[in-house]
């Protein structure tokens, strides 16, 4: 049975000024050159793919002094039209938070919370029908979890990330069906206790292997039917199809050099 695709609204930012000039995660090597025009083409392919699927893509204006802005997922978390702003762990990205807030103010969003605690937006927050899953350990502060629960009114499940390659929750876990509690994740990224929590709450989850996780295959975006994911995560395609999803592989190789892929480039604006 094919699944139903909902029409989504995404916020993205073109990698016009993308560079790897500093290293704040193990994927980033400032000594490795980035092909900027290829990065742009790859990103445009993702944007066009969303539009072809019937989704709305809103755009942020990239700033030359903020090379990581392309990873728009980190700038806020929007649920029920309520905007929880971000507060970045590293000073290199700190100014991105205000750029996002300005965008929301200019686009009719009125319920906006400027956070007191560090949270890197959808990098560490994932929305299922029942829960707000919340990563901690590398970026978002555990204190941001209570702040998110209070503002968004959703029960937060805190999850401990333990592998530096999977420094954000969205590098190790993806919500496949937000109307149900259906997810896929890589257990190796989580502490034993968090693994037990995930197994208890999501007994039917799709479990990803180490190779697909290392291709950032969990850094995917699902509209409930189409799952857009890094094409190198070849082991995920068949299990996704078996569940009735339509996997769509995308090559974002240049943006992988900054430690991000499909989901990192995509912030979902949930009405
Ligand atoms: N270079 C960026 C950083 O380390 C990549 C962010 C990836 N975004 C994400 N949602 N995981 O902050």
Q: Are 59 and 12 within 8 A, CB to CB?
A: yes
Cβ partners under 8 Å of residue 223, min gap 6? 5, 6, 7, 8, 53, 55
pLDDT in tens, 57-101: 999 999 999 999 999 999 999 999 999 999 999 999 999 999 999
Is 19 inside a domain boundary? yes
Cβ partners under 8 Å of residue 148, min gap 6? 77, 84, 119, 125, 132, 134, 154, 156
Is residue 41 within a helix (H) or strand (E), and if so which, with residue range?
Answer: helix 36-52
Query: Helix, strand, coil proportions of the chain in percent (round to 5)?
Result: 35, 25, 45
What does the pLDDT read at residue 29? Answer: 97
| Pocket lining for ligand 1, CB < 6 angstroms | 24-25, 28, 68, 71, 73-74, 93, 123, 168, 170-171, 258-260, 264
Atom in ligand 1 nearest the alpha carbon of residue 20: 1
pTM equals 0.97
Residue 16 has pLDDT above 80, yes or no: yes
Residue-number span of the structural domain to which 182 is assigned: 9-268
> Whose Cα sits closest to atom 8 in ligand 1?
264
What does the pLDDT read at residue 151? Answer: 98
Is 108 inside a domain boundary? yes
The mean per-residue pLDDT over the stretch 145-174 comes to 98
Task: Say whether 107 is catalytic.
Answer: no
If you measure from the C-alpha of residue 260 to the centroid of ligand 1, how many angstroms do you get, rounded to a whole number?
Answer: 5
Q: Out of 100, 145, 168, 226, which one is annotated catalytic?
A: 168
Is 26 inside a domain boundary? yes
Atom in ligand 1 nearest the alpha carbon of residue 88: 12
Q: For residue 125, what is the domain's CATH number?
A: 3.75.10.10
CA distances from 112 to 36, 115, 180, 194 (A): 34, 9, 26, 30
If you measure from the C-alpha of residue 259 to the centroid of ligand 1, how many angstroms do you get, rounded to a whole number?
Answer: 6
pLDDT in tens, 94-124: 999 999 999 999 999 999 999 999 999 999 9
CA distances from 126 to 33, 74, 189 (A): 32, 12, 15
- Give how many domains the chain has, as a whole number: 1
**Given ligand 1 and candidates 27, 68, 252, which is best to mutate, with the most ligand atoms within 8 Å of its CB?**
68
Is residue 183 within a helix (H) or strand (E), and if so which, with residue range?
Answer: strand 182-185
What does the pLDDT read at residue 204? Answer: 97
What does the pLDDT read at residue 213? Answer: 98
Is 3 inside a domain boundary? no
pLDDT in tens, 207-241: 999 999 999 999 999 999 999 999 999 999 999 99
Q: Out of 13, 145, 226, 264, which one is annotated catalytic?
A: 264
Q: Considering the chain, what percentage of its residues have pLDDT values greater than 90?
A: 99
Task: Say whether 168 is catalytic.
Answer: yes
What does the pLDDT read at residue 6? Answer: 86
Question: Confidence class of residue 252 from pLDDT cuts 50, 70 and 90?
Answer: very high
Is 1 inside a domain boundary? no
* Three-state SS at 103: helix
Is 2 inside a domain boundary? no
If you measure from the C-alpha of residue 154 to the centroid of ligand 1, how many angstroms do you get, rounded to a whole number?
Answer: 24
Question: Confidence class of residue 2 from pLDDT cuts 50, 70 and 90?
Answer: confident
| Residue keyed to tokens 């974002």 | 252
Is 170 inside a domain boundary? yes
- Token code pair at residue 208: 């990803």
């Amino acid at each position: 049975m094919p699944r139903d695709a909902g029409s989504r609204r995404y916020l993205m930012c073109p990698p016009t000024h993308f560079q790897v000039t500093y290293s704040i995660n193990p994927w980033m090597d400032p000594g490795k050159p980035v092909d900027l025009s290829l990065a742009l083409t790859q990103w445009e392919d993702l944007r066009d793919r969303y539009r072809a699927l019937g989704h709305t893509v809103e755009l942020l204006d990239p700033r030359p002094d903020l090379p990581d802005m392309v990873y728009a997922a980190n700038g806020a978390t929007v649920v029920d039209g309520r905007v929880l702003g971000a507060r970045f762990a590293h000073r290199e990205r700190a100014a991105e938070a205000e750029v996002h807030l300005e965008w929301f103010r200019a686009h009719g969003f009125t319920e906006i919370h400027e956070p007191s605690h560090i949270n890197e937006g959808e990098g560490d927050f994932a929305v299922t029908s029942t829960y707000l899953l919340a990563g901690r350990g590398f970026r978002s502060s555990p204190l941001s979890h209570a702040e998110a629960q209070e503002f968004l009114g959703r029960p937060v499940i805190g999850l401990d990330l333990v592998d530096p390659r999977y420094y954000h929750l969205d590098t190790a876990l993806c919500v496949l069906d937000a109307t149900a509690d259906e997810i896929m994740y890589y257990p190796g990224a989580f502490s034993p206790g968090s693994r037990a929590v995930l197994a208890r709450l999501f007994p039917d989850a799709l479990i990803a292997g180490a190779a697909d996780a290392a291709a950032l295959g969990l850094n995917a975006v699902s509209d409930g039917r189409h799952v857009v994911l890094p094409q190198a995560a070849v082991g995920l395609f068949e299990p996704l199809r078996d569940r009735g999803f339509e996997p769509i592989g995308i090559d974002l190789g240049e943006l992988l050099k900054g430690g991000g892929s499909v989901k990192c480039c995509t912030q979902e604006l949930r009405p």
